[in-house]
Amino acid sequence: MKLLISLVLSGLALMPITAYSQTDVEKELEAIKKRLEKAEKKLEEKESTSRTGIASYAEVHYNNLDNKLAGGSDKKEIDVHRAIIEVEHHFTDDVRAEVELEVEHAYVTDSGTNEGELEVEQAFVEFKNETRILKLGQFILPVGILNKKHKPTDFYGVERNNVENKIIPTTWWEAGVLYQYKFSKNLSVDAIISSGFKTSLANNYAVRSGRQKGSKAQADDLAYLATLKWKINENVKVGASLQHQTDITQGLDATAGSANLLTAHVIWNMDAVSVTALYATWDLDGSGPASVGADEQTGWYVEPAYRINKEFGVFARYSTWDNQAGNATDTEYSQMDIGVNYWPMKNIVIKADYQDQDSPAGENEFDGINLGMGFKF
């Protein structure tokens, strides 16, 4: 733009001065210069605005579940499960920053009743080129399927599947550094060094309860994660992750030691039919986790689905999970889900499903229907 101003002024200066005095020409040139500078400023402001975007997604659930445990409480409730605001800014074509805030269960109180949560899920800056990505800050980890792709319009079923909830555990974010290398457009590897878990015997060393969520996260022991993503062809995608943490209790429990996660999944699509399958398992060292069977925490699911048309899709899912699989006693849960998704438009979904759960003796066992709606923009 400055070059354009210079060319215009130079051209005007070379024009023959006939009807105007030198003073008049100078005034006219100054007026033109001011108009061009104003136009340049407006263009710069517009460019800056276009580089900042706001996105959001939310979902509301209705659960009508009967508890088969004698004396257990049913679950019959309506919940604004989550509402999220994302702000993204592109400093250049290759550098961007993103902040994501989430409110769970509609509101937050300071009463200590855990009625809701306000969380910073992501706050990072990213540098990239054609083959590499470097991400610094707090971000969602590239593990499994649902952890990265968890907006309600993107998956079947009202509730997120139990395996990626209890075992992986979705949604799982950490603070640290991520480096991605793309061997090709179909094959990439992520390497991450980040904050780790801090779990304990008080919650039977369950991995989900060990998430520190970036809140003054104790970092005596960091975690190391590697993820492979491979698009074999247009119909088949596979992925696998390995994570290691030397001490899952951050040095607070001498009877516990390292923790290792292995996940693998496949997504097969053929026209309107798809099949998704995932396996995840944790191996925890130490006599502490072994004493309660938490030295092995594992689960898997398989989910066939049929997209009837652009608006409707049906699915079935069978899943099993166990956060105390090392026990000699039965601590395994399983669940069968069947349901339908309706997309009145691409970014809005209405869902309904039925779940049939099988729980260990003495534990809550919920059977019934779930209804939900969600959107993203």
pTM over 0.75: yes
Helices (H), the chain: 2-14, 22-50, 162-166, 287-291
Contacts of residue 358, defined as CB under 8 A and 6 or more positions apart, other chains included, come to 333, 334, 335, 365
pLDDT at 15: 46
β-pairing, 223-231 with 117-128? unpaired
Distance separating alpha carbons of residues 47 and 45, to the nearest angstrom: 5
pLDDT at 14: 47
Q: Where are the domains of the chain?
A: 1-50, 51-376
Top-tier CATH class for 51-376: mainly beta
DSSP 166-231: HTS-SS-EEEEEEEEEEEETTEEEEEEEE------GGGTT-SGGG--TTSS---SS-EEEEEEEEE
pLDDT at 109: 83
pLDDT at 41: 74
The per-residue pLDDT string of the chain (377 residues; one tens digit each, 9 = 90 and over) reads 454 445 444 554 444 444 556 677 777 788 888 888 887 777 666 655 579 999 999 999 999 999 999 999 999 999 999 999 999 999 999 999 999 999 999 999 876 666 789 999 999 999 999 999 999 999 999 999 999 999 999 999 999 999 999 999 999 999 999 999 999 999 999 999 999 999 999 999 999 999 999 999 999 999 999 999 999 999 999 999 999 999 999 999 999 999 999 999 999 999 999 999 999 999 999 999 999 999 999 999 999 999 999 999 999 999 999 999 999 999 999 999 999 999 999 999 999 999 999 999 999 999 999 999 999 99
pLDDT at 353: 98
Burial code (b: 16+ CB inside 10 Å, e: under 16) for 73-86 equals eeeeeebebbbbeb
Q: Which of 333, 311, 337 is nearest to 324 (CA)?
A: 333
pLDDT at 18: 47
Cα(first)–Cα(last) distance of the chain, in Å?
34
